[in-house]
Amino acid sequence: MTNASLDVPMAPALTHGRRFQYYDLIMVGFVTVLLCSNLIGPAKVCLIPLPFSVPGIGESLSFGAGNLFFPISYIFGDILTEVYGYARARRVIWAGFFALLFASLMSAIIIGLPADPNEPFNAALQPALETVFGNTWRIVLASIVAFWVGDFVNSYVMAKMKVWTRGKYLWTRTIGSTVAGQGADSLLFYPIAFLGIWSAESIFAVILFNFGFKVLLEALMTPVTYRVVGFLKRAEGVDIYDRGTDFTPFSLRD
């Protein structure tokens, strides 16, 4: 397939069963970012002094470290949907879902196993593991539900907007889908995890800040997204338009 053929919209059926050179690598990158940002990042809250006082924030900025990297998974999602189509992005989302579910289960089992009192290192290791990986069931549930809903919303909006815009104005799709996906993610995660623990005002403030931060990061990364998408479309010889696609999330078919 020549590069010129990329000017012609392709339906998912035209590439059914086809193997791609970079698809698996992007899937691995997506799952890696997802796991690291959910298992490593949430354990640390950062405090960064600001050069001036910001209304509603103050003179310092406090945020969970995972928020620095979790939005990258949405960039991967945008690239997957834009290049390979919704159905293949759906497979990657499910791979991330089961990876996150397994990691959460593994963390709970390892923390719950009795530590050998004859091993001196366990005296320091066990409480450290509980602090870093011992999330409550509400936080685990919130992470999994918010990720699943948010990523499917992101991919769906991305695919629909590509058809509506006839493949033009990629930036509108990357930012628009992130607004929808990250909005759903934030609106689900914080109430599920912290309603009744934090005040409603605190939950609203955190939702607003994290939503704005993630959308801003997506906007700043737009030039990188353009370059990666352009490279993949040329290298793979594919540019999927989701016309006639079954958008049910409950499928693994491509």
* CATH of span 3-236: 1.10.1760
- H helices of 40-165, in order, are 70-84, 86-112, 122-133, 137-164
Q: What is the predicted pLDDT for the residue at 46?
A: 78
Query: Quick one: pLDDT at residue 67?
Result: 78
pLDDT band with cut points at 50, 70 and 90 for residue 243: very high
Query: Residue 158: which of 102, 229, 101 has the closest Cα?
Result: 229
Instruction: Determine if residue 169 is left, alpha or beta; phi over 0 gives left, psi from -120 to 50 gives alpha, anything else beta.
Output: left
H-run or E-run covering 173: helix 170-194
Model confidence, pTM = 0.90
Q: Are the C-beta atoms of residues 78 and 31 closer than 8 Å to each other?
A: no
Per-residue pLDDT of 8-61, as tens digits, reads 567 776 677 678 999 999 999 999 999 988 887 666 777 888 888 877 667 887
| Residue whose C-alpha is closest to residue 98's, from 155, 6, 146, 31 | 31
Tens-place pLDDT, residues 133-187: 888 789 899 999 999 999 999 999 999 999 999 999 999 999 999 999 999 999 9
C-alpha to C-alpha distance for 128 and 134, rounded to whole angstroms: 9
Q: Which residues is 64 bridged to in the sheet?
A: 45
Q: So where are the chain's domains?
A: 3-236
Q: Taking the CA atoms of the chain, what radius of gyration do you get in angstroms?
A: 20
